[in-house]
A and B are shown apart, each in its own frame.
Chain A
Amino acid sequence: GDSVTQMEGPVTLSEEAFLTINCTYTATGYPSLFWYVQYPGEGLQLLLKATKADDKGSNKGFEATYRKETTSFHLEKGSVQVSDSAVYFCALIIGGGSQGNLIFGKGTKLSVKP
């Protein structure tokens, strides 16, 4: 079945370090891909998305490129801040619109130290 695999955490970085969180997927169709972020004590928020191969989603300095050939959607940020400490979830949806259901990875906890 359709699934998402994320690198296991926790990930601990110093402020201004480069961040990569790996995400790969398995899907029978042509999914849209998402990164959601969950800050401590808050609900899930959409961080960025890409709907087709080679699309790049970006937001708040984070980027991810939809790579169909490697079935990947790795999250990157050039310089992390303490405020980026959160849990990051990679997700996919097949058959968008009201027909699709989000399938999430297990999440990767990021801690950024000053």
Chain B
Amino acid sequence: EAGVVQSPRYKIIEKKQPVAFWCNPISGHNTLYWYRQNLGQGPELLIRYENEEAVDDSQLPKDRFSAERLKGVDSTLKIQPAELGDSAVYLCATRDRYTDTQYFGPGTRLTVL
């Protein structure tokens, strides 16, 4: 079974530029999460989807961050414009409802210069 796929793995941009991250979940996993992991910290939730509906976006900085999950499968997280403080690893995870376990993708390491 394929795992959670994320792309790109690395991204370097200048501040004020836009950037987008893509996530393809494990087949059949309806719940999808985006996390941000700052250096030396644990992941922190940005947004949670149940199918195509964002059911918890309370931690998403909505002035510059947006996300979508069309058709309840793939998801995209966007930052526009990026700031220096957005440098982090952005992780996508999906949940197996039978084992109630979250599976993480490899992440996208964003560097904002």
Contacts and interface: CB of A to CB of B under 8 A. Distances in A.
A43 B56 contact: no
Interface string A20-63: 00000000000010001000001111100100000000000000
Contact of A89 (B42, B100, B106): B42
A32 B103 CA distance: 16
Chain A at the B interface: mostly helix, strand, loop or mixed?
strand
B44 A45 contact: no
B31 interface: yes
Chain B at the A interface: mostly helix, strand, loop or mixed?
strand
A44 B43 contact: yes
Contacts of A96: 100
Interface residues of A, number: 20
Interface stretch (A11-19, A66-74, A75-83, A103-111): A103-111
Nearest to B89: A43
Interface of B: 3-4, 30-31, 33, 40-45, 48, 50, 55-56, 91, 93, 95, 97, 100-107
Interface of A: 4, 32, 36, 42-46, 49, 89, 91, 96-98, 101-102, 104-107
